[in-house]
Amino acid sequence: MSHGARIGILGGTFDPVHVGHIDTAAAAHRALRLDRVLVVPSGSPPHRQTQPAASRFHRFAMTALAVNGISHLIASDLEIGESGPSYSYDTLARLHARGVERSQIFFITGADAFAEIATWSRYPDVLDMAHFAVVSRPGHRAADVVASIPSLAARVRQATDGVGPQSVAAAQVSVVVVDAATPDVSSSEIRRRISAGESIEGLVPESVRAHIVQHRLYSQPHGDRLLGQSLA
C-alpha cells in the first residue's frame, strides 16, 4: 500500500455482488476522495445462519468481474483465503500488520448493516481500527442510523467535513456519514428471482449475470462449482 494513501474497504458476502454494492463503493470513493476501494468477499460470514449459496471461489470471481474496468475498485482476497469466520476486526488487524495506518482506512458499510454494529465481533473496539464510512441505503438514512447510537456522537462527521488523515489526528478515527442514493436491490432478492426463473437484468453487472448463467448458480444442484473444481 502506498504511504498516506486513503484506502476504502467494502466487505460483504456478495452472494451475488450487485449494483447496490458497486454504487455504495462508488459513493464512498467520491465523497471521501479515496485513492482506491478494496472490495472484499468474506470467506465464512459470521452473521449468517446458513452458508452462502455460492462458494467463496464463485463469489470472488463475481466480485472480480464486477469491478473489472473500474479503476478505483479492486477485488481483494483479504478474507476469502481464511478458514475461520470473517470478522471485520481481524481483517483490519491484517491491514495494520501490513503497515497501513488506521487513519488511512475507511471501512465502508451500508447504513442497514451499521444499524447492527453492536452485534459485531469485538464491538466497540472494532470502531477504533479505522474510520467507518456509513452510506445511506434505501429505507436506512445514514445520518439517522448513526444518530440512533448516542455513544458515537463525539466521533461523527459528515463526508463534506473533509474527513481524512489531513484533518484528523493520527490518534483519532471517525464515523463518517455519507448520504447518497443507492439502488434498492439485495442479494436475497436476486437469488429468489433466479430460482423463480425471473430476470435479474440491471440488478447485477452484465459480466456477473453471464457468470451466473454459465455456471447455473442459484438454480441447479452443484451449480456452485467453478469448472474443474472438485465436489469434495
Closest Cα to residue 163, out of 136, 142, 134, 138?
Answer: 134
So what's the pLDDT on residue 81? 85
Low-confidence ranges of the chain (pLDDT < 70): 1-3, 48-49, 160-171, 220-232
pLDDT of residue 163: 56
User: How confident is the model at residue 84, as a pLDDT?
Assistant: 82
Supply the pLDDT for residue 206: 98
Q: Running DSSP on this structure, what letter comes out for residue 150?
A: G
Q: For the CA atoms of 147, 149, 154, 156, what is the dihedral angle to 10 degrees?
A: -50
**Cα distances (angstroms) measured from residue 188 to each of 33, 66, 191, 207, 229:** 31, 18, 5, 19, 25
- Judge if pTM exceeds 0.85: yes
Give me the domains of the chain, ranges plus CATH numbers: 7-178 (3.40.50.620)
Instruction: Return the number of other C-beta atoms located less than 10 Å from residue 179's C-beta.
Output: 17
CA distances from 11 to 48, 168, 189, 196, 225 (A): 14, 24, 19, 28, 22
